[in-house]
Amino acid sequence: MKRVITYGTFDLLHYGHINLLRRAKEYGDYLIVGLSTDEFNWNEKQKKCYFSYEKRKQLLEAIRYVDLVIPEENWEQKRTDVKEYHVDTFVMGDDWKGKFDFLKEEGCEVIYLPRTPEISSTQIKNDLNMKKENDNR
């Protein structure tokens, strides 16, 4: 069985996320998603999620491409996750290109997939904030 892993926050789940998960699953038989915990997002990434870790986990588990969701608690765990879960392929969006090439040392293929260009959680949040500002005028 070929195992694939990807990571993300997956807040305000949208079709760009689904595209990433679908394309990641095409590289293997079993897709593991490392989901950023609320603490990791706040302490390391300095961002607050709209949905809690548990809600985001439930959403991901409902997607047919996802076989297992594990918590991402720190940047360094990727190397240990690749070993512990016997991962063959690591997949991330191409906005991270080159950042995880060190996983090749673990015998893991590293693939950076193009993002879905017209959608992002940041863009959704910005659009909603702009609408709110316009509505308050």
Q: Are 65 and 24 in contact, with CB atoms under 8 Å apart?
A: yes
Q: How far apart are CA 37 and CA 19, in angstroms?
A: 22
DSSP code per residue over 24-41: HHTT-SEEEEEEEPHHHH
78, two tokens: 């990727």
Q: Which helix (H) or strand (E) holds 72?
A: strand 68-72
6 contacts 21 by C-beta, under 8 angstroms: yes
Residues recognised as catalytic: 45, 47
User: Any idea what the Cα angle at residue 97 is, between residues 16 and 7, rounded to 5°?
Assistant: 50
